[in-house]
Structure 1
């Protein structure tokens, strides 16, 4: 996409308060550009609960959870000291995060893009510590497996818990999800955090970005930045996972049952009453014939890699 196209780009207006899933036109924008912004997904009591829960995890990490491998650190840009940058498996660590996984707008939209056999995979909180925002260089999260001709996208759902202004927000390069490996590698080798061809994506608490794992994105380091917490839930089409991995078939079944449990939890939550709950009905070889109560909510990826 040329610089002129980027400068003239108009983002679709997607508001979770006025629709129950993304539209065909919004889905096409995502497929074409590799990202989609959705406003007002998490609001009211649910937003307050999640913000409080994730603040507890942030404070735990800041106060020295370095012996827990789920808490990851980087070098602060101002102090040079160890700074919390990521927390893994947040669904396991918080009941409101389990309820969030069952969000009906999100799941209906995931199904629209991936089909009914989608699988929840990664769940993490990524953050920029106050005044210590660590640069996130231009990157792709992953690559679609070699030989995969399935056109359904693999993507993250990014829930913003804090305002992200120009000092902390994500930058994306629209359409780079369709770039060749060579074009992607050339762009990432450019020195510094160049915003050529890119657009910033400011966000408010409760807003969401869908971003394709192959779209180029990143963020500059912070300069007096406030705290910015973003929760990432990744979803993958079951057909791609079953055919190419990286997880075993056992993992897929475990995560399907975990998703069913989280949907039921959402139905019971006091702050979700009146919602039109999502019905998860995977089909064919992915059909769930005997749902099982999950024994845990932390299925460590390395224990389920294909050998």
Structure 2
């Protein structure tokens, strides 16, 4: 199979206020878009330092908190940290990050003004213990949904990712059927990572990727890999969540209040001064009611699943 002929296309948060229509079309066609320079200067240093605390805590071993998840190290076979859930709840800088105006204006362009922040996690490749991430989709579009708007993650890179550790994507696989994706995944299996129909996406610290939940992606185990930390924020159109789930309507309203509080947190940090803040303006059935300060930033998904 020949290498896909996709000319890499970038957005740049240093010179743009949001993604352009052309960049949005690239994302919709290919299932991913790289954005350069989302985090920089003081914000990048603050977020890196803050999440280093979480990395150190998880690396030391957390036995009684299911938010810290582990896997088998690629070199030693030891139990190594691979994922931390609900990072917004664990860190004030991560609250401010949710209010990033370039990101939210771009999400609004792709999903409409009734978007909802749904997931927040950090995925790690620990040094010299890179774990292969086989080809996968993050999820399928909810059954019965005909809404064409994408559901996607924004992946913030806190460390560089070179060809040994970076994400690989199969462009356009966001348009494949579930059966076609399964056939591609099954061809390699969990222990092999062939890339003849894929392209690598090297990143610098502070860059971000928008990636559709249905695009096929993964990464090799790496050999002597450095630390790679990536923060994932997922967004979904409110109408898709309301009509098809997986969360209840109560969850959507709670996460709207979380977003409003995080926008206030963004406005208060030193590194946001001088930027044009995002204004969250959902309408119709999602119009904001009375403002209520959230009593937590961690609403467990399983508590709000539809039956």
State TM-score, norm by structure 1: 0.98
Gaps spanning 5+ residues in structure 1: where?
none
1:246 corresponds in structure 2 to 246
2:269 equivalent to 1:283: no
| Contact 1:130–1:226 (CA under 8 A) maintained in structure 2 | yes
Partner of 1:97: 94
1:3 corresponds in structure 2 to 2
Structure 2 counterparts to residues 41-80 of structure 1, below 5 A:
41-80=38-77
1:40-66: CA deviations, max 9, x gaps? 001000000100011100000111113
For the Cα contact (< 8 Å) 1:66–1:72, is it kept in 2?
no
1:173 aligns with 2:155: no
- Contact residue 6 and residue 171 of structure 2 kept, 8 A: no
Q: How does 1:138-217 map to 2 (within 5 A)?
A: 138-191=135-188, 192-217=192-217
What is the CA–CA distance in structure 1 between the aligned matches of 2:38 and 2:150, rounded to whole Å? 21
Residues 1-58 of structure 1: CA deviation (Å, up to 9, x unaligned): x735x2x421123110111000000000000000000000010000001000111000
Match of 1:20 in 2: 17
Q: Which runs of 5+ in 2 are unaligned?
A: none
Q: Which moved more, 1:263-272 or 1:208-217?
A: 263-272
Q: Which moved more, 1:61-70 or 1:23-32?
A: 61-70
SS of equivalent residue, structure 1 residue 190 = helix
Counterpart for residue 236 of structure 1: 236
Distance 1:13 1:215 in 2: 18
Q: Is 1:261 paired with 2:258? A: no
Matched residue, 1:115: 112
> Is the CA contact (8 Å cut-off) linking 2:10 and 2:33 kept in structure 1?
no
Question: CA RMSD, aligned part only?
Answer: 0.8
Q: In structure 2, what is the equivalent of residue 130 of structure 1?
A: 127
CA drift at 1:112: 0.2
Partner of 1:34: 31
Distance in 1, Cα, partners of 2:121 & 2:2: 33
> Per-residue CA shift, 1:81-132, capped at 9, x if unaligned?
1000000000000000000000000000000000000000110000100000
Aligned length: 304
TM-score by length of 2: 0.98
**1:138-191, Cα deviation, whole Å (9 max, x unpaired):** 000000011111011000000000000011100000000000111100100113
CA distance in 1, matches of 2:30, 2:247: 27
